[in-house]
Chain A
Amino acid sequence: MRKGMYQELFFRSPTPCLVVDRDGRVVEANAACARLFGMTPEKGSRLSDLLEDRGDRLATDLARAAGSDGQMPSAGTLATGSLAGLRIRLSMRGMRLPDRDAPLVTIHLRENEPGAFRAHTDLIRRLNGELRRQRALQDRLETALEREKYLHGELIHRIKNNLALLSSLIRVRGRRHEDPEVRRVLEEVDLRTRSIALVHDLLDRNQTLSVVNSEELITELCALMSRSLVPDSVELHCDVEALELHNEDATALCLLINELVTNALKHAFVDGRKGRIDLDFRRNGVEKMELHIRDDGRGMQGDAPPMAQDGHGTGILHALAEQLRGELIADVDEGTAWRLIFHPRAPQDMAAE
């Protein structure tokens, strides 16, 4: 083999290789030797300082290898580095160089088995370290998440209490006011406030952060409206499918239902007219939800369609429908029917629960 090519292979070889003279002094060592010896052996250093020679085996084999360019096996025990004490196989081969009288010996250190063992050991050590770091990080994240949940729950609880306090203040103020119109407006504001509070009450009661059950929520809302708003002459019927609702959707939906029922009571059943309001809530297809509120009130017999009767109320209705990413349609005939179809918040938004 040409000298240049041999040198190139020698220095670039991933296998630890030494060139020594026949007295066992290092002439060259490639970089891969550092893996075994913990450092690259210096020129002139003694082979016996790198490899322990038990029973003169190594010295004898070295002398014999120096006598031929045939490959000869041998063995030695590492004397330095992290693997010191490990016995490894050697492959020796003599070579003559034109510029040297005495032959040199190349020694390939067969680290396959210990190399693989060490590689696995290092890998396991690294993975164990990574596992420890990931576990510590997981502990910190779980602690932070617990704290976040606690604070979020605490916030929901305080909002619920504050809304209840605000509702009480509005109610007290409304009862004491002499002007009936002011009392009516304050009652509407109170009901809206209690509708929002209802969502937070459910969240607080169920110890959840952002998901409420539609059946529980709307049934309670209907009960609230029946108690505080709906006269005896009107029946409010609810038929609600149990679905999971994000609290943002739930709040907007409560306000919308509140507005629509209030609107029906205000415009469909005037002068003590008896009647019925039906509320249906269910899934529409795979991705949507649907709300129907129908009354059997006076419908087109009134002075004007409900949407045109109260510009402020209509604005709120459409703002809430938009917040729900839905469309609100009114069908006014014998009575009035409202239909809302909306896209609920994506399930992943609730996955943190």
Chain B
Amino acid sequence: MGHLPPAEASIDLTGDIFMRRMLRELTGLLQDVVGLDEAEGYINSVGAAMGEWIESQYRAEMGAEDLDPEAVAAVFVDLKSRIGGDFYVVEVSQERIVLGNRACPFGDMARGRDALCMMTSNVFGRIAAEHLGYARVELQQTIARDDRECRIVVELRPDADEDADGREYYRSARAG
């Protein structure tokens, strides 16, 4: 009896799955070896670079002018959609943007990889800060932490409370 040709085997392997799996392993290694805080630091750094890149892409296409909160929220939904997420706008105002998400771009690979959520925080925070001057991103619920959906709140006004939750983002020198 001959072997099944490899090309006919039902293997859950694509370029996307391969990359996500690799990212999951790399993030797991980081979290286990250097700890969650330090791993988040590395993801922050990568996330900042990704946020700069994505922001520059949208600015190049949508014009040099800063976007208002509603447009920024639309960018968030769009960019997540392009990479496999299912984000939607819950609330938009001059004070905050609230988003929900039903599907993580990293899929099941994100579960238990809290550090990966800092990618979203950085990308959203970078874009919001560059267009609106300031952002504080709070990941209230995340699929990575086994919540059913993600709930992301982007505060657009600096809080008087210095100990408020979330990560702050500031407009860069280039944009300032």
Question: Which residues from 83 to 110 on chain A have a C-beta closer than 8 Å to any C-beta of chain B?
Answer: 91, 94, 96, 101-103
Question: Which residues from 118 to 176 on chain B have a C-beta closer than 8 Å to any C-beta of chain A?
Answer: 118, 121-122, 125-126, 129, 158, 162-163, 167-173, 176
> Cβ of A64: which chain B residues have Cβ within 8 Å of it?
45, 48-49, 52
Specify which of A2, A23, A66, A73 is in contact with B172 (CB 8 Å cutoff). Answer: A66
Q: Which residue of A lies closest to B49 (CB)?
A: A64
Residues A102 and B173 in contact, CB atoms below 8 Å apart: yes
Bound form: Cα–Cα A74–B44 in Å: 11
Residues B173 and A71 in contact, CB atoms below 8 Å apart: no
Counting contact residues on chain A (CB < 8 A from B), the size range is 20 to 34
> Cβ of A22: which chain B residues have Cβ within 8 Å of it?
173
Residues B162 and A1 in contact, CB atoms below 8 Å apart: yes
> Cβ of A72: which chain B residues have Cβ within 8 Å of it?
41, 44-45, 48
Bound form: Cα–Cα A251–B116 in Å: 92
Bound form: Cα–Cα A10–B37 in Å: 20
How many cross-chain pairs have Cβ atoms below 8 Å apart between A and B?
Answer: 64
Bound form: Cα–Cα A68–B41 in Å: 11
Central interface residue in A64, A69, A94, by most chain B CB within 10 Å: A64
Q: Which residue of A lies closest to B166 (CB)?
A: A69
Residues B45 and A103 in contact, CB atoms below 8 Å apart: no
Residues A2 and B162 in contact, CB atoms below 8 Å apart: yes
> Cβ of B170: which chain A residues have Cβ within 8 Å of it?
66-68, 94, 96, 103
Question: Which residues from 50 to 101 on chain B have a C-beta closer than 8 Å to any C-beta of chain A?
Answer: 52
A63 close to B (CB within 8 Å): yes
Bound form: Cα–Cα A237–B66 in Å: 124
> Cβ of B172: which chain A residues have Cβ within 8 Å of it?
63, 66-67
Specify which of B42, B163, B168, B176 is in contact with A68 (CB 8 Å cutoff). Answer: B168
Residues B48 and A68 in contact, CB atoms below 8 Å apart: yes
Specify which of B122, B126, B167, B168 is in contact with A96 (CB 8 Å cutoff). Answer: B168
Q: Knowing A1-B162, A96-B168 touch, does A73 contact B173 (C-beta < 8 A)?
A: no
Q: Which residue of A lies closest to B37 (CB)?
A: A71
B38 close to A (CB within 8 Å): yes
Closest approach, in angstroms, between the C-beta of B41 and any C-beta of chain A?
A: 4
Residues A73 and B45 in contact, CB atoms below 8 Å apart: yes
A61 close to B (CB within 8 Å): yes
B40 close to A (CB within 8 Å): yes
Q: Knowing A2-B162, A22-B173, A96-B158 touch, does A71 contact B41 (C-beta < 8 A)?
A: yes
> Cβ of B42: which chain A residues have Cβ within 8 Å of it?
73
Bound form: Cα–Cα A260–B44 in Å: 101
Q: Which residue of A lies closest to B134 (CB)?
A: A96
Bound form: Cα–Cα A68–B129 in Å: 9
Specify which of A66, A68, A91, A103 is in contact with B125 (CB 8 Å cutoff). Answer: A68
> Cβ of A71: which chain B residues have Cβ within 8 Å of it?
37-38, 40-41, 44
Bound form: Cα–Cα A102–B169 in Å: 12
> Cβ of B38: which chain A residues have Cβ within 8 Å of it?
71, 73
Residues B158 and A70 in contact, CB atoms below 8 Å apart: no
Specify which of A23, A70, A102 is in contact with B118 (CB 8 Å cutoff). Answer: A70
Residues A69 and B168 in contact, CB atoms below 8 Å apart: yes
Q: Knowing A69-B167, A69-B168, A70-B122 touch, does A91 contact B162 (C-beta < 8 A)?
A: no
Q: Knowing A67-B172, A68-B48 touch, does A91 contact B41 (C-beta < 8 A)?
A: yes
Residues B126 and A102 in contact, CB atoms below 8 Å apart: no
Task: Pick 7 A–B contacts, CB within 8 A, sort by A.
Answer: A67-B170, A71-B37, A71-B38, A71-B40, A71-B44, A94-B168, A96-B158
Interface residues of A (CB under 8 A from B): 1-2, 22-23, 61, 63-64, 66-74, 91, 94, 96, 101-103
Given contacts A2-B162, A70-B167, A103-B170, 10 further A-B contacts (CB under 8 A): A68-B44, A68-B122, A68-B167, A68-B168, A70-B118, A71-B37, A72-B41, A73-B42, A74-B45, A94-B168
List the 3 shortest-distance A-B pairs measured between CB atoms, nearest first: A64-B48, A70-B44, A69-B168
